[in-house]
Chains A and B, each alone.
Chain A
Amino acid sequence: MSNEENRPRRGPVQFIAGLLEIPPEAAPGMPRIELAGNREVLIEQSRGIIEYTPQLVRLRAGRFVIHITGQQLVLRTMRASEIIIGGNIASLSFTA
């Protein structure tokens, strides 16, 4: 497998942001995630909840879907572009 194939796929916006050396978190459509230990996670630039149960929260954020698993997960606050999730967070993963 060549290096070209290993490189992550980028859309035109990310490509231009890369050319202009804009920080990734400032690029449009790129979610910003802030973890406070395993107790709280703040996700900015999210596009909404796909699924919510006390064990799993799935969120749409840009081109990703964010999976947060854990126990007693609670949506502490939710606004148009910001979600704070609390509880015992076990893992955080992404799928395209």
Chain B
Amino acid sequence: MFIITIFRFLCGYVTLRVSGVRCERFLNLLARRGVDFWRVHRDGGSIILNIPVSAFRRLGPTAREAYCRVHIVKKNGLPFFIAAHKKRWSFAAGFLMFLGMIAFLSQFIWSIDIVNDTDIPSADIERALSRYGLYEGARISDIDTAFIRDSVMTYDERVAYIGINIAGTGASVEVKQRVPAPHLESEDGPRNIVASCSGHIRRMEVLHGEPAVKEGEAVLSGQLLISGLMDSKVEGARPVRADGSVWATTWHEISVTVPLTERVTVDTGRRVSFYTLRLFNIFIKINQNSSIEYEKYDKMTSQEKLVLFGRTMPAAIITETCSEQGEAEFTIDEAAALRRAQEQCDVKLARRFPDAVIIGVERETTTDDRGVTVRAVYECEENIARSEPIDAEGYENNSYGESFDG
């Protein structure tokens, strides 16, 4: 019904008042002559009705035949509106310009919505899409989605699949991450367990393989702990993937020097900001003549996208803030330097041997011109088992090698 109303408005219609004693006959004649009319109602002795403009010429003979008088009450619809306003050129020009702007602006991508629940940063995806032609402001007719999809998947190996849908002026991009094939340990071949560092074995858990050492023994870094070659009287030597844990007491020496005076870079608090307006891919600098007078500075760039009615517009304000950096010299007392050195020792140990449990520590402190030096020896307990592939040399050196042919 709404469509019919619009159609009637576009074609134009006339509201008439029909008066006379035989109004019903007038309606019957009109209907019989193929004229559609609608919204007929009584108003006193007369009838009000709407007829299309095209049927207006047929009214005269019909009214005469039915002995009725017809008056135009109102002219409605687009043809009458245009006729009434045809001298207003500026109005028409503005309307046409508006239509032209709509038609022109809808040829470009206004927003890109990246549906990304992967570990790949959306900025990386955006960069890759932009590289192959999908960016805010790109002409929609120039976008080859199949080419972009294939190119991005080749360009970024983390992407398993990328779906690009362009609806109107918006592009929706869905990203799926590549899941690497699981590493099969069986493909690694036979392996030995060797000591990752020197120590004193406290306990062993051998899951597979032949133990080469015993609890209580001292071992050196790289020494064989569990052999991947198992002896068998029936089959001979059989290469296996040795597995197990070997906990040992180990000693690690860490040395850290903390200077008593140090030069650090500090923010002086002075800063200057530059603004750039981004419209599609056009960048307009707002403060063109500004220059940076700082000798040393940190630059931070932030981009704030314009949002209108909850939808991101292809425009943004880019703010570049330059903060002046100065140098300052700090002096710290010996106690603080010592504390910091000890903390740094602990941090270094935890970074180098993350699984080590500290049992005891011996520290030696020296102070000289360079600052405070702490030399700490940590006694730890840790799993020193390290898996290592058995090479050809390993087979030859092994006493069971005669019956092994693989």
Contacts and interface: CB of A to CB of B under 8 A. Distances in A.
Q: Which of A50, A54, A77 has the most CB of B within 10 A?
A: A77
B27 interface: yes
A74 interface: yes
Contacts of A76: 38-40
A51 interface: yes
A71 interface: no
B37 A78 contact: yes
A79 B42 contact: no
Nearest to B40: A75
Nearest to A46: B31
B40 A74 contact: yes
Contact of B27 (A54, A74, A75): A75
Contacts of B24: 48-52
Contacts of B270: none
B248 to A, nearest CB: 91
A80 interface: yes
A50 B41 CA distance: 15
Contact of B41 (A48, A49, A74): A74
A78 B27 contact: yes
Interface residues of B, number: 17
5 contacts: A74-B39, A75-B39, A78-B38, A78-B40, A79-B31
Contacts of B94: none
Interface string B22-48: 011001101110101111111000010
Contacts of A75: 27, 38-41, 49
Interface of B: 23-24, 27-28, 30-32, 34, 36-42, 47, 49
A53 interface: yes
Contacts of A79: 31, 36
A9 B316 CA distance: 83
Contacts of B47: 52
A80 B27 contact: no
A48 B40 contact: no
B204 to A, nearest CB: 90
B37 A52 contact: no
A48 B39 contact: no
A43 to B, nearest CB: 12
Nearest to A51: B24
Interface string A73-88: 0111111100000000
Interface in A33-66: 48-54
Given A54-B42, A75-B41, A48 B36 contact: no
Nearest to B41: A74
A51 B41 CA distance: 12
B27 A52 contact: yes
Contacts of A53: 42
Contacts of A77: 36-38
B27 A49 contact: yes
Nearest to B42: A54
Given A49-B24, A50-B24, A80 B31 contact: yes
Interface in A10-52: 48-52
A78 B38 CA distance: 6
Contacts of B38: 75-78
Nearest to A53: B42
Contacts of A52: 23-24, 27, 40, 42, 47
Given A78-B37, A80-B34, A48 B42 contact: no
A66 to B, nearest CB: 14
Q: Which of A54, A75, A76 has the most CB of B within 10 A?
A: A75
A77 to B, nearest CB: 5
Nearest to B47: A52
A24 B30 CA distance: 29
